[in-house]
Amino acid sequence: MRRYQRDEWPIRHHPPQREITHRGYHRYGAFLSPATAGTGMSLVNWRRRSRKSDVSEVSDEWFASHVDAAQQVVAFLADAGLSLTDKRVGDVGTGDGIIALALALSARPEQYVGWDVNPVDSSGLRGRARAEGYCQELPANLQFDVCRPTTLPAPDESFDALITWSAFEHIADIGAVASDMSRVLRPDGFVFAQVWPLYFSERGSHLWQWNPEGFHHLHQSMDEMRAQIDAGPGDEEWKQYMWSEYRSLNQATLDDVQHAFLQAGLIVRRCELYSHLVNIPEAVAVNQKLSSLMIAGFKMILSRQVEPNTR
Ligand SMILES: C[S@@+](CC[C@H](N)C(=O)[O-])C[C@H]1O[C@@H](n2cnc3c(N)ncnc32)[C@H](O)[C@@H]1O
């Protein structure tokens, strides 16, 4: 497998992947380009930028990488013979809503509801989509709603499919959220879940912009990490945002996620891992499970367990 250079590490939470071509876009996909690495551009900055004259190449890459994530969801489901077309779909931890927008448009669900504990800036999303030439208006089948940390604002068994992308490493109580996902899912429904990077993996800190050394967070003190961020690139708002993202990481492993879903009556039926060659610092290698260090993330499809879990 190709080794990635420091400047190529993904912007925030998408694993290395191919370049994409979509609706006239040909971008670096999830990668930082050498021209933009280290500038500290962010979702926070993006939210302030809705006029075309303000759109930079970095924000293009952010948007394009999220459209690419949506395409990965569609492809992963299609490989399993599943689709979101004409279904009622919920998205747990929808973030800025770009993936939701891309899925609402391209997968043609009857309804796509993006939930997040933080409100989605719909008008900002529309402005950005216009500026990118992606669409003029948000589609009628797309809605956003604020959820509580452990409950989704939806009736029992009201959704055919649930999507969650890059959220299960941030959700504080994954057991409670998995349980509520199970509650709102129809009996014959399915869940698509993705996470990258898991906490104990090489890039698990999400802080590679300030420390490119793999696994650094597993042997550094909090003070050391914070000092590196303070001394490194990026504006204060971006640094604060990424530090709080780091502090919100729940340290769940693949097995923890499986356990949370299993307790909620949802079983993993299909799973693909993100893993690649790594060099492990000695202090980390002697203290952590190899499987935790090596499993950088996953995509999975879950369905409801027919018999209750009695174990
Ligand atoms: C890294 S972002 C991913 C956003 C989006 N899925 C994406 O990939 O662009 C994680 C999101 O999970 C949300 N989140 C954290 N805890 C949550 C919870 N208990 N329920 C719903 N969303 C949550 C955060 O607010 C954040 O927007």
Instruction: Tell me which residues have their CB closer than 6 angstroms to ligand 1.
Output: 13, 66, 92-96, 99, 115-118, 147, 149, 165-167, 170-171, 177
Q: Which of 90, 103, 102 is nearest to 134 (CA)?
A: 102
Query: pLDDT, tens digit, for every residue of 223-251?
Result: 999 999 999 999 999 999 999 999 999 99
Asked whether the beta carbons of 145 and 114 are under 8 A apart, the reply is yes
Nearest-CA residue for ligand 1 atom 9 is 95
Distance, CA of 107 to CA of 105 (rounded, Å) = 6
User: For the chain, how far is it from start to end, CA to CA, in angstroms?
Assistant: 40
Nearest-CA residue for ligand 1 atom 14 is 93
pLDDT single digits (tens) 61-102: 889 999 999 999 999 999 999 999 999 999 999 999 999 999
Q: Which two tokens stand for residue 10?
A: 């993904």
pLDDT for 37 equals 25
Residues 198-211 as b or e (16 or more Cβ within 10 Å = b): bbbbbbbbbbbbbb
Residues facing residue 260 across a β-bridge: none
pLDDT at 305 (0 to 100): 84
3-state secondary structure 234-295: CCHHHHHHHHHHHHCCCCCCHHHHHHHHHHCCEEEEEEEEECCCCCCCHHHHCCCCHHHHHC
Q: What angle do CA 49, 25, 121 make, to 5 degrees?
A: 30
SS3 115: strand
Cα(25) to centroid of ligand 1, in Å?
26
CB 70 within 8 A of CB 99: yes
**Confidence at 19, pLDDT banded by 50, 70, 90:** very low
Find out whether the peptide bond into 197 is cis, omega within 30 degrees of 0.
yes
Q: Kindly report, residue by residue over 104-149, the tens digit of the pLDDT.
A: 999 999 999 999 999 999 999 999 999 999 999 999 999 999 999 9
pLDDT at site 59: 60
72 CA distance to ligand 1 middle (Å): 18
- 3-state class of 308 per DSSP? coil
Q: Does residue 19 contact residue 28 with C-beta atoms inside 8 Å?
A: yes
Q: Give residue 27's pLDDT.
A: 27
CB count within 10 Å of CB 84 equals 25
Average pLDDT for residues 6-16, to the nearest whole number? 44
Q: What is the pLDDT of residue 310?
A: 59
Confidence of residue 252 (pLDDT cuts 50, 70, 90): very high
Count, residues in the chain: 311
Query: Which amino acid is it at 54?
Result: D
- Token couple for 165: 């992308």
Ligand 1 nearest atom to the CA of residue 173, by list position: 19
pLDDT above 50: residue 187: yes
Ligand 1 atom at minimum distance from 92 CA: 21
Nearest CA to ligand 1 atom 11: 93
Ligand 1 pocket test, candidate residues 166, 177, 241, most atoms within 8 A of CB: 166
With 80 as the cut, is the pLDDT of residue 11 above it?
no
Residue 275 has pLDDT above 60, yes or no: yes
Tell how far the Cα of 170 is from the centroid of ligand 1, in angstroms: 7
Minimal-distance CA residue to ligand 1 atom 23: 93
CA separation for the pair 145, 113 (Å, rounded):
7
Which of the listed residues 47, 72, 91, 171 should we mutate to test ligand 1's pocket, taking the one with most ligand atoms within 8 A of CB?
171
Spacing, Cα 282 to ligand 1 middle (Å): 33
CA 92, CA 298: separation in Å to the nearest integer?
16
Domains of the chain: 17-41+57-197+251-283+292-304 (3.40.50.150), 205-248 (no CATH)
How do residues 50-63 score in pLDDT, each as one tens digit? Answer: 333 333 445 678 89
Q: Indicate the average pLDDT of the chain.
A: 84
Q: How far is the CA of 168 from the centre of ligand 1 (A)?
A: 8
Query: Which residues are 159's β-sheet partners?
Result: 185
Q: Which tokens sit at 281?
A: 């610092």
Evaluate if residue 42 carries a pLDDT over 90.
no
The string of DSSP codes covering 2-27 is PPPPGGGSBSSS------EEETTEEE
Quote the CA–CA distance of 257 and 13 in Å, as a whole number: 18
Grouping H, G, I as helix, E, B as strand and the rest as coil, residue 89 is strand
For atom 7 of ligand 1, which residue has the closest CA?
95
| pLDDT (mean) for 168-192 | 98
Nearest residue (CA) to ligand 1, atom 12: 93
> Can you give the pLDDT at residue 7?
37
* pLDDT confidence tier of residue 309, bands split at 50, 70 and 90: low
* Contact call for residues 198 and 297 (beta carbons, < 8 A): yes
Structure tokens at 241: 């945002």
Q: Which residue has the higher pLDDT, 34 or 237?
A: 237
Secondary structure letter of residue 74 according to DSSP: H
